[in-house]
Amino acid sequence: MNDVLISTDFQLPQNPPPIYIIGAGSIIEEAHLPAYRKANWKVNGIFDLNEEKSLRLKELFQIPKSYNLLETMVAEAPEQAVFDIAVPASQIASILNQLPNHSNVMIQKPLGETLQEAKDILRIVKEKDIRASVNFQMKFIPSLIAAKRMIDEGLIGELHDIEIRMNIYHPWEIWEFLFGIPRMEMLYHSIHYMDIIKYFLGMPKKVYAKTVQHPKQMQLSSTRSIIIFDYQMPIRAFVNTNHGHDFGLKNQDSFVKFEGTKGAIKATLGKNINFPTGEPDHFEYYLQNAEPQKWITAAVPGHWYPDAFIASMADLMCAIENPHAIHDTNIIKAYETMQLVEAAYISNDFGGTEIPN
């Protein structure tokens, strides 16, 4: 059945406001700025505590101005501007306190390093009447947009199983701030996968989790996790990550698999394999009501970097234009994802059931 419509479209703003970037790290260089350039959106300024970083990206992406003071950027930004914040989570609250009331803000995930920090950020956003999004963009990877459309159309029947597996080797040294913090893998990586499961299945009743170190990555608090979502019904949903598979590319895995009562979908997310260079994405599906009954490989236009970052910022921009628009990246939904992360760490800390005598 090759006539299934594979759709990856999403709504774009009619009048995109100018963007001002706070932070000039690798995610800005590799994802945010290429996304905005592809979308033909204006980036009017960039600020980083390390002025050399912001000056380099100013030249590389032809940004009109690099700022050495955040207060100067804030003073010069027009009222309708979007502040795109990509800094370590512990710095988010301080930056929000320096922005004007009624600002538009995109915050790079996570929403703080603990649920209490997330509460503090949410309080600041409410007090300052800030329209805020959190950049959980993985759910907008083109292959996952295509999967969501197929599932919503009922093509694989009732969704009852989501498996997310990452058996990869991740170069954590790219992000120096991750070394020495008490929470790492689930907070800074698997949080995306928890957000994806919530996006497709809603909030679970319970979460079970265990996150551990890798013998070759002991400088980090953890790099491998198992996270199980309990919906107290015939639904299985779990995340299985291992970032220490340093044995070549052959058996590395990076996929999200959906199973329904009438079919299945598997989306391979190639960016995680051989990161940051990445490998090609792969999208396939199986429909029991179709002929022939076999796995069909379909071409899906676009990639995680930069297309998903276009979609997440577009989600915020459309909400700016129309307060009644669907706002999937809004901070309230992001706070729910932080609740899942907190539950996962509580489960990890309390441990499993001891074996009976």
pTM for the model: 0.95
pLDDT at 161: 98
pLDDT at 4: 85
pLDDT at 353: 85
Q: How many CB atoms lie within 10 A of CB 308?
A: 26
So what CATH class is 138-308? alpha beta
pLDDT in tens, 55-67: 999 999 999 999 9
Residue 59 backbone dihedrals phi, psi, to 5 degrees: -70, -40
pLDDT at 210: 98
pLDDT at 3: 72
Residues with pLDDT less than 50, the chain: 1
**How many whole angstroms separate alpha carbon 19 and alpha carbon 47?**
12
pLDDT at 292: 82
